[in-house]
Structure 1
Amino acid sequence: MSRQIITQGGKPAFVVIPIEEWRRIEATLEDRADTATVRAFLKSPAETFPDAVVTAILDGTPPLKALREHRGLTQAGLAKACATSAVYISQIERGTRRAGRTLAAKLGKALGVEAGLLQDD
């Protein structure tokens, strides 16, 4: 590998290497970072969701509705699990009402997700 060392004040300060060598180094660093990310996930795997759920949310479906349907719950079933009404769940999904902190925590628990994932911001 050819390289050029640039000094400042008599001490090495910079190294100039061919661009292809830099690209190889950069790819290696990215591969190592990806590997570390995968290892961390495998040590403590979090739940993942099917593409259809993520796509629905990205396409505008309220997260509460997408996750409720993913879990196979009706509005009435989710309402019962959270001690609220199906009308309230419908209103939250349509965006005409917001869930308070207590209800948001119950919804998250019933759906097995963090309450923050249900916000439609």
Structure 2
Amino acid sequence: MNAIILRPVREDADTVTLNRSDFEALMEALEDAQDLAESREALARLQRGEEEAFPIELIEHILDGMSPVRAYRQYRGLTQQALAQAAGVSPSYLSEIEAGRKPGSVDAMVRIATVLRVAVDDLLPPRPSE
């Protein structure tokens, strides 16, 4: 980490005035420190088992158009039949959700997400790029 040497333009008992480049360097250092703290906390959550990291291939499949339900189901090593049974939905309904022919009811998607151990939002298709 580079040390920041601040040269106040003016200061009194209540305020310090910095030139723009010093202010921007200070703000950048603050943002870097916040990013580092957030990264360390995320790593700690992973190490405590509170969060799960998914392989990039899984995310790429979803971004390439694979149904998120199908991608996570395959990642978890479940057949359509096994997921359908565990989530309490019919195999044909699950097949239609995976094929994109049906969006899936909120109730069904919550049950599927619970079985797959992901957030319901993770099962939504990616939004088109703007």
Q: TM-score, normalised by structure 1?
A: 0.77
What is aligned with 1:50? 55
Of all paired residues, the percent bearing the same amino acid is: 29
Of the three residues 77, 80, 84, the one matched with 2:82 is: 77
5+ residue gaps, structure 2, are: none
Q: Deviations over 1:12-68 (max 9, x none)?
A: 573215x3x556534422331122102322443311111011111122212111111
Q: After TM superposition, list the pairs within 5 Å mapping 1:32-111 onto structure 2.
A: 32-45=33-46, 46-111=51-116
Q: 2:62 is aligned with what amino acid? A: I
What is aligned with 1:14? 17
Q: 2:29 is aligned with what amino acid? A: T
5+ residue gaps, structure 1, are: none
Partners of 1:67 and 1:30 in 2: how far apart?
34
Q: Which has the larger radius of gyration?
A: 1
What is aligned with 1:112? 117
- C-alpha RMSD of the superposition: 2.5
Of the three residues 9, 19, 33, the one matched with 1:4 is: 9
Q: TM-score, normalised by structure 2?
A: 0.72
Residue 73 of structure 1: SS of its match in structure 2? coil
Partners of 2:71 and 2:112 in 1: how far apart?
13
